[in-house]
Chain A
């Protein structure tokens, strides 16, 4: 029944099939050998890479403390829930899972989705911060296996002084994507890691940052930790001690009230910056998390420029506070302090007339009376005699027109004009009219409040004081400026007269403390052109002008006058008049250093006044912004980039117009 032919045919085919099977077997064996032996090393590394994760232990950021060790910036524990967009498989499902644990509002969800879609996928997105311990542990337990969701315990930065130190210490924020791409430091994408964004936080970021620790851990595919293999602990950042006196800083900030301005206090002997206030400011506590875009817009739109550090970045014509420079230049040129110049209220040069602030003139003015009276005519005459280059040299010697080695990003260096400067900048020759303007601190001259404080400290001590902000090492000794003591005495005597003489321009700044005498100098810097039409009609009183057209008020002072210890500079933007408005602030700040109780007693009235005005403004703002209110947030790596305000320099050659008396 079995056909042998069929049998042989079958055997032949069976042989074919069997060889096919054998070939496949060999192929499989060869492939496996290839994977396991020839590429084994590669795959072993890949398996290790799967299994072992290097987990960073982020370092704790160093504290920033004041000269007495009181904290200005510190860390507090912060529990939060974060999303890692690169690990998320399905955002909708993930959010649903989170919603089972945390109650996310629609607004929050919109923000989260917005962040996830707008940020690079390696940047973590905060779902919620400031979780309570209960919420945090619930997230830890119930969201542990949801990919891309992490409950994070970290430290967030806290600034107990809020606004008052904002410009000085700055704030922290998430690193920018560019920073990460440039540095490739994995710490920068660690959830919740913050870097300094402004002020000292930014300047001393490396010092404050510390060094990350690392833990090698074995993890499962779902990221669950199996065991720790080894750890290297983190090194916290250094504690930075500043020369700032926190209480003085607070006082100065409160004393400024709702003014837009700056107060700087420097120790004349050591150069320690005791206070450096720029108001209004922002709350760095908010900036260190996320800034609601409505707040951001409000801050940007505010004409009081709360985002600008006026102390270091603001540039203002120094006005009459510059007259000490002219005085010293004149003395240096050998001019007799007792030589009198007759002031008729106007000074003629060529076809033009320069005005003194006193319209009817001061009569005969010598150097000793010129400063207290702030007689412009006297300084026109002296400036013209010594020439711009001598004035500029003296200004530089006193510290103007330069940046100091301070941890402040974006310091403005200002302008101290001279002939060479003009030739270089404008390619034109210097004109004598410009000397007249410069000799009273107008025209091209631009300074920032810090430079004015340093100038005052140098005048008071006669030494080349350099400001310092880090309280490190012994107090520096400064060399003498090389200005004869007799010259300085004339200037100091004049400054004492400004405050204490019956005809001084800053009688309001007279010290309330019996045995402490304050010496100072007022300044009122014009910010607008006065048109010919206006001049014919008569100058409008400053108070009647819109805020932004009013003059800047300046006041520099030191105390005690006999043995100077503290120098202060006060600038109120559009503050109308140095003597009337800036000088009392300087007086109170200086008296706080000697008798804090007395100084504090003046605050309530000022703060109540400011509060009323603020409330009025808020009502007006709220009415205007009801329609546009949204809860969007600015990116977490937000950094303030405000160009310093540029003040229009009215034709520097134009004669100084008549002004209000100081």
Chain B
């Protein structure tokens, strides 16, 4: 009986249940879309996705009960383990030949690069938590921080997984930005990247180059490499204002839309629910992001602030890149739409991410009742 009256029970009430309901709404809508994508069937996606979401939601709520100080203390070990895992993936890949992204731990396939998206934010938040005001941009402070970013980004690039590498880079850069690194440095970095683009072009794989070229001109090969983007735009555009109606999408059900349940699930949804459905999804995610920003601003330590907003920005990166891709505003990179796309590892990452931010929100919730 004492267990039931323990502190964690009262902590439960401090969790941001409003957010939890928004997240449930997004995942629920995702299940509806997956149900339709399977041709009006719970099998093979919707049901499994629901179970997975339920389990991961439980895990996220459990993570939210962990006090943020614990993460501060564990930041280095977590980062180190993830870095080693990334190295391990590289080594296994080198032995087996070919590109390798996960470690087979027997029970689950662990994809360290996914977790590193969170790890990079965690470690930099920890790093800048202890940097006094005014020292953020000094070389002896900035260079190690850049090194912390460069190590995982480099390893992931070797896999090669450009999308994830960019995501990690973005997470790191956001934390630096929030920590107060001088703005001109970001301008200079952007200019440097622009200058290096032609050089980087040569390091891209052929399929990556083609994706970029197709993004610039999808009509050049509508039946070949431009097929994804062309069909995705047709799906979204033909949905119109209110969509073709639940289970009535033709692009998705007649297989014109590729990857209809994973990367292009937004197009599947937009075809049947139209602009209304799209606005709903964007609005729901907007609320999640707004909550993340508010949590960060209200947090009581620099570590919590950086961690909360860095993670929120990472989630934003997922959303923005995926939606821009399906609408033809970004090249095709394999980034799923969190909580809606079919797939375990992305959902795992996002739920852990939400668990951490919820933990911060809980810790900073006003006076106890």
Contact = CB atoms under 8 A, between A and B. Distances in A.
B178 A13 contact: yes
B221 interface: no
B254 A13 contact: no
Interface in A549-581: none
A618 to B, nearest CB: 51
Contacts of A24: 316, 320
B37 interface: no
Contact of B133 (A3, A28, A37): A3
B240 A44 contact: yes
B65 to A, nearest CB: 23
Of B238, B250, B300, most buried by chain A (CB within 10 Å of CB) is: B238
B241 A36 contact: yes
B320 to A, nearest CB: 5
A315 to B, nearest CB: 54
Interface string B49-62: 00000000000000
Interface in A1-25: 1-3, 5-7, 9-11, 13-14, 16-18, 21-22, 24-25
Contacts of A13: 177-178, 180
A11 B309 CA distance: 10
Interface string B273-308: 011001100100010011001001100111001100
A51 interface: yes
Contacts of A221: 254-256
B233 A43 contact: yes
B274 A14 contact: no
B329 interface: yes
Given A32-B278, A43-B237, A44-B240, A1 B180 contact: no
Most buried by A among B177, B178, B231, B233: B178
A588 B324 CA distance: 87
A14 B290 CA distance: 11
B327 A17 contact: no
A11 B294 CA distance: 10
Interface in B72-103: none
A14 B296 contact: yes
B174 interface: yes
B251 interface: yes
A441 to B, nearest CB: 67
Given A25-B282, A32-B278, A221-B254, A46 B296 contact: no
B281 to A, nearest CB: 10
Interface residues of A, number: 43
Chain A facing B: main interface SS: helix
Interface in B154-190: 174, 177-180
B153 to A, nearest CB: 20
A31 interface: yes
A47 B278 contact: no
A184 interface: no
A14 B231 CA distance: 37
Interface string A263-279: 00000000000000000
Interface in A178-229: 218-222, 226
B180 A6 contact: yes
A10 B320 CA distance: 23
Nearest to A9: B180
A265 to B, nearest CB: 59
A11 B239 CA distance: 40
A40 interface: yes
Most B C-beta atoms less than 10 A away, residue of A6, A22, A36, A43: A36
B180 A29 contact: no
The number of chain B residues touching the other chain, given as a range, is 35 or more
A33 interface: yes
A114 to B, nearest CB: 25
A158 B191 CA distance: 74
Given A14-B296, A31-B327, A35-B327, A46 B238 contact: yes
B258 to A, nearest CB: 9
A39 interface: yes
B329 A31 contact: yes
A121 interface: no
A50 interface: yes
B182 to A, nearest CB: 11
Contacts of B323: 28
B234 A47 contact: yes
Interface string A334-346: 0000000000000
A39 B328 CA distance: 14
A335 B30 CA distance: 109
A355 B231 CA distance: 87
A44 B235 CA distance: 8
A17 B174 contact: yes
A154 to B, nearest CB: 27
A28 B177 contact: no
B129 to A, nearest CB: 10
Contacts of A5: 133
Interface in A45-83: 46-48, 50-51
A477 interface: no
A25 B288 CA distance: 13
A47 B235 contact: yes
Interface in A287-308: none
B270 interface: yes
Nearest to A39: B237
A16 to B, nearest CB: 8
A42 interface: yes
A9 B240 CA distance: 44
B238 A40 contact: yes
Given A28-B320, A36-B239, A36-B240, A2 B327 contact: no
A219 B254 contact: yes
Nearest to A31: B327
B254 A6 contact: no
A226 B254 contact: yes
A5 to B, nearest CB: 6
Which of the listed residues A7, A35, A221 has the most CB atoms from chain B within 10 Å of its own CB? A35
B236 interface: yes
Given A3-B133, A21-B289, A31-B327, A40 B254 contact: no
A163 to B, nearest CB: 46
A28 B237 contact: no
B302 A2 contact: yes
B313 interface: yes
Contact of A35 (B236, B255, B320): B236
Nearest to B327: A31
Contact of B233 (A11, A18, A35): A35
Contacts of B329: 27-28, 31
Nearest to A40: B240
A10 B297 CA distance: 8
A222 B253 CA distance: 12
A39 B236 CA distance: 10
5 contacts: A7-B302, A36-B274, A44-B237, A50-B254, A220-B255
Given A10-B297, A10-B306, 13 more contacts: A10-B309, A17-B309, A25-B286, A33-B275, A36-B275, A39-B237, A40-B238, A40-B241, A43-B238, A47-B235, A47-B250, A50-B251, A221-B255
The 3 closest A-B pairs by CB, nearest first: A43-B237, A47-B238, A221-B255
Interface of B: 133, 174, 177-180, 231, 233-241, 250-251, 254-256, 270, 274-275, 278-279, 282, 286, 289-290, 293, 296-297, 300-302, 305-306, 309, 313, 316, 320, 323-324, 327, 329
